[in-house]
Amino acid sequence: MLKSFTAAGLALAIAAGTAGFAVPAAAQDVELRIGPDGVRPVIRDDREMRGMRGHRCGQREARAAARDAGLRDPEIVRVTDRRVVVEGMTRRGPERITFANMRGCPEM
C-alpha cells in the first residue's frame, strides 16, 4: 500500500514539475474596435510589429485610416513625434481622431 502511495506521489510531483515549464505561445494580438460600422476584430502579428520600429505614419495613411473610422473630408491638423491628429466630419458634426505616429497608424 505504501509503495502505491509513493508511486502516485512521485508521478504527481513529476507532472507538477513539467507543467511549470510549459510556456504559452503569444504570436498574435487581437483587438476589437468599435466604430460607426460596428465591432471589427483587428489581428496584429507580433512578428510583423518587430520590424516596424523606425517607420512613421504618413499623411496619406492617416487620412485613409480616418476615412475607415468614419470621417468625411479628413484633414491633418497636427503632427508630432508621437501622434498625428486628424479632423473631419461625421453625421453628428466635427470629430477629431488621434493616431500614433508609427507604421500602420494605430488609433490612440
78 phi and psi angles, rounded to 5 deg: -150, 140
Contact between 84 and 98 (Cβ < 8 Å): yes
Domain interval for residue 58? 54-107
Q: Is the dihedral of CA 91, 86, 31, 47 positive or negative?
A: positive
Contact between 106 and 100 (Cβ < 8 Å): yes
Residue 103, domain member (yes or no)? yes
Residue 47, domain member (yes or no)? no
Residue 37, domain member (yes or no)? no
pLDDT score at 8: 67
Residue 20, domain member (yes or no)? no
Residue 80, domain member (yes or no)? yes
Residue 63, domain member (yes or no)? yes
pLDDT score at 39: 83
- What does pTM read for this prediction? 0.50
One digit per residue, the tens of pLDDT, for the chain of length 108 reads: 667 667 666 666 666 555 555 555 555 567 778 878 788 887 766 555 554 455 688 889 999 999 998 999 999 999 998 999 999 999 999 999 999 998 888 888
Residue 101, domain member (yes or no)? yes
Residues 6+ apart with CB under 8 A from 93: none
pLDDT score at 9: 64
Residue 45, domain member (yes or no)? no
Count: domains in the chain: 1
